[in-house]
Structure 1
Amino acid sequence: MQKSGLKTPYFIIDESKLVANLEKAKYLKDISGVKLVLALKCFSTWGVFDLIKPYLDGTTSSGPYEVKLGHETFGGETHAYSVGYSEDDVREVADICDKMIFNSQSQLAAYRHIVEGKASIGLRLNPGVSYAGQDLANPARQFSRLGVQADQINPAVFDSLNGVMFHMNCENKSVTAFKGLLDSISLQFGKYLDELEWVSLGGGVFFTWPDYDIDTLGLALKEFAERHGVQLYLEPGEAIITKTTDLVVTVVDIVENGKKTAIVDSATEAHRLDTLIYNEPASVLEASESGSHDYVIGSCSCLAGDQFCEASFDEPLNIGQKLHLLDSAGYTMVKLNWFNGLKMPSIYCERSNGEVQMLNEFGYEDFKRSLSQWSVK
């Protein structure tokens, strides 16, 4: 299959770029002894899991369907976590997960009897410190519901815990800042950690970012693990698939009202939701910092403020021209929806030999079935 013949909108994952990130992950594992489990909340496109599995140790989840998906399509270790389990949720995954991590002491007390003897049991702790660019994504924000605060811990719970999980980073590109968080955890929780088998430090550590000091990170992780005598885990998501995937769209119209807007056959609200939620404009491959032709890249949805970005180009854009919205994998394909009844992007993988493979495509029947399967008679 040739890329030139693909109909937009579509995502295309670049195998070579994905493997480059995975090689960095393997190096981090080798020098630190840390285990890495893929965060399915960020990226769940299981059609490329065969490329990822040789490098990582398993998956971690935020809900029961992700647990089942990781178990069925990835294998290795399957970590189950949810902010709020129902009893049905726990029973559904207790037999297929390796670790069950509860968000609160009350959930632990209510459901641990279902899990005992089947999976290693963990509890999420909230260190009260974090590294996050926006409060919306800050696990240690005021009144956070995520994990148990240090001053609320009942020490008796650690007598029957196997491990704990912290998650306090969001796109943390600073190894210095991360080391500071490790020191804070040791200071607050060290006496508890010393009695455990494993500690997960969650995700959000951007160790594949260009020029990130992986050696310093590896040393810090190794020292932390040895200090407390635990097996460490990280839960990378964005770090694994960053800069691997484009969302390819086509300009379908150009309108002008004070600014020129190139309307494309996609929408942030439906296909790249975090662009809208976090007000983080997309980057366009074809754009130029020195270009003299300025455009708003607007979506085809009815939401007035739905636009991907503003960008400049060396030449005027034309109707029918394709644009590549860069870095469109993390927290993107997992959030696709049918807003406005827009066509869902297909998903492809470009292999390192140049071959393009289809992973998924969607049609009207998928849209229709997502809304109802039967009508009232």
Structure 2
Amino acid sequence: MKINTPYYLIDEKKLLRNLQIIQQVQQLSGARSVLALKCFSTWCVFDLMREYMAGTTSSSLYEARLGFEKFGKETHAYCVGYSQADILAVAEFADKIIFNSVSQLDQYYDTVKSAKLGLRVNPGFSHSHFDLADPARKYSRLGVTDRAALAEQLPRLSGLMFHYNCENDDFAAFSEQLDLIGDSYGDFLQALEWVSLGGGLYFTQAGYPLDKFSQKLADFADRFNIQVYLEPGESAITGCTELVTSVVDIVHNEMDIAIVDASVEAHMLDLLIYRLAAKMETTGPGRHTYMVAGRSCLAGDVFGTFDFAEPLAIGSQIRFADAAGYTMVKKNWFNGLQMPAIAVRRLDGTIEVVRQFTYPDFLNNLS
């Protein structure tokens, strides 16, 4: 099936591999996994994902509503700062409402006290490769740091959330930090029903010690008689999606530069934010080196430098791998560039174009 580029292509068979690992961990550990919508909200594959996950978790009212309406099952609502309108809306459908601060809990407790409530805790440590994403960075606003203030709120709560990982594929580090949480907050956890350990754990990566990971979670749950939740985002969707582009021009300025019909700024923004290069599964040994760049006017709109087995030409297709997490949720209309379509290769191999974006979408994005 020929689809006009650019487009995101989600492969359900690759997605299924991650989901089966998530299900395995749930079965071995008893920990429930809820999809982090801030990473991936493309609901055309939710029918498949809901078979393997317990529900969704959110960072805003709209994400929480999307999870409730399109995913179903458990709906966890978290936000760094709720407004009065937000909390009234969330209270209509969320199974769990998690506050970022004691002040927000105080402000809205009377409104939502019939729901299962939680507080985010900042344990003062984290696992992050980037200061930008470090929830325990200096002056962090993310979560409660005051143990005495937290203790006072326990009668109002049914659970706590600890979100302190980012791209953590190190089981030993995870294990050590989970022990720290148990030692520091165990007396609180024993008085509660559930605890979320957040996301950022790369346990679906090849070679990750799933048996040890699952046993660690099960032991933690048993120790404190508590239901454990995980919030996988990238672990759920890593490696399952490509951004498919075509070369529209090739220029030379000390090196060959291939310009494609997509943009890092508009379509894979996280690469620009964290100054990372795109991934490309199909590049191997090659004699033809090109910088691959986007077609926005931003000078630094560059996907990376890659080696190709054959020379590129106008119309050559370039596929960027691992293009699901923090991509479609951040895509934007910068420069008015055509938005990539969204396509899915279903489990039976058929490809379905589920969404195409046109000029009216651009027009209606603003007013």
Instruction: Using structure 1 for the length normalisation, give the TM-score.
Output: 0.96
Q: Are 1:85 and 2:101 counterparts?
A: no
Of residues 119, 122, 125, the one that matches 1:123 is 119
Aligned partner of 2:315 in structure 1 is 320
Of residues 44, 47, 72, the one that matches 1:47 is 44
| Unpaired stretches in structure 2, ≥5 consecutive residues | none
Aligned partner of 1:19 in structure 2 is 16
Alpha-carbon distance in 2 for matches of 1:218, 1:30: 9
Alpha-carbon displacement from aligned partner over 1:117-148 (angstroms, at most 9, x marks no partner): 1x200000001111111111111111110000
Matches within 5 A, 1:105-144: 105-117=102-114, 119-144=115-140
Of residues 238, 241, 249, the one that matches 1:242 is 238
Contact 1:150 1:189 in 2 (8 A): no
* 1:359 CA displacement: 1.6
Alpha-carbon distance in 2 for matches of 1:269, 1:19: 29
Alpha-carbon distance in 1 for matches of 2:163, 2:89: 24
Contact 2:144 2:150 in 1 (8 A): no
**Corresponding residue SS for 2:137:** coil
* 1:313 CA displacement: 1.1
Contact 1:127 1:150 in 2 (8 A): no
Q: Give the percent of matched residue pairs that are identical in Structure 1 and Structure 2.
A: 51
Of residues 336, 351, 355, the one that matches 1:356 is 351
Contact 1:36 1:58 in 2 (8 A): yes
Aligned partner of 2:32 in structure 1 is 35
Aligned partner of 2:154 in structure 1 is 158
Aligned partner of 2:145 in structure 1 is 149
**Corresponding residue SS for 2:362:** helix
| Unpaired stretches in structure 1, ≥5 consecutive residues | 373-377
**Corresponding residue SS for 1:149:** coil
**Corresponding residue SS for 2:282:** coil
Aligned partner of 2:65 in structure 1 is 68
Matches within 5 A, 1:215-230: 215-230=211-226
**Corresponding residue SS for 2:251:** strand
Of residues 179, 183, 187, the one that matches 1:183 is 179
Q: Are 1:336 and 2:331 counterparts?
A: yes
Of residues 96, 99, 103, the one that matches 2:96 is 99
Relative distance call for 1:61 and 1:112 in structure 2 (3 A) is same
Q: Which runs of 4+ in 1 moved over 6 A?
A: none
* 1:150 CA displacement: 4.2
**Corresponding residue SS for 1:148:** coil
**Corresponding residue SS for 1:49:** helix
Alpha-carbon distance in 2 for matches of 1:346, 1:233: 33
Contact 1:150 1:188 in 2 (8 A): no
Instruction: Using structure 2 for the length normalisation, give the TM-score.
Output: 0.99
Q: Are 1:271 and 2:251 counterparts?
A: no
Alpha-carbon distance in 2 for matches of 1:286, 1:174: 27
Task: Return 146-155 or 68-77, whichever deviates more.
Answer: 146-155
Alpha-carbon displacement from aligned partner over 1:213-264 (angstroms, at most 9, x marks no partner): 1111100101111111110000001001000000000000000111111000
Alpha-carbon distance in 2 for matches of 1:229, 1:78: 22
Aligned CA-pair RMSD: 0.9
**Corresponding residue SS for 1:309:** strand
Alpha-carbon distance in 1 for matches of 2:181, 2:238: 27
Paired residue type of 1:240: A
Alpha-carbon distance in 2 for matches of 1:273, 1:153: 38
**Corresponding residue SS for 2:208:** coil
Alpha-carbon distance in 1 for matches of 2:148, 2:259: 52
* 1:151 CA displacement: 4.5
Alpha-carbon distance in 2 for matches of 1:281, 1:310: 8
Aligned partner of 1:375 in structure 2 is none
Contact 1:251 1:322 in 2 (8 A): yes
Paired residue type of 1:95: E
Aligned partner of 1:56 in structure 2 is 53
**Corresponding residue SS for 2:329:** helix
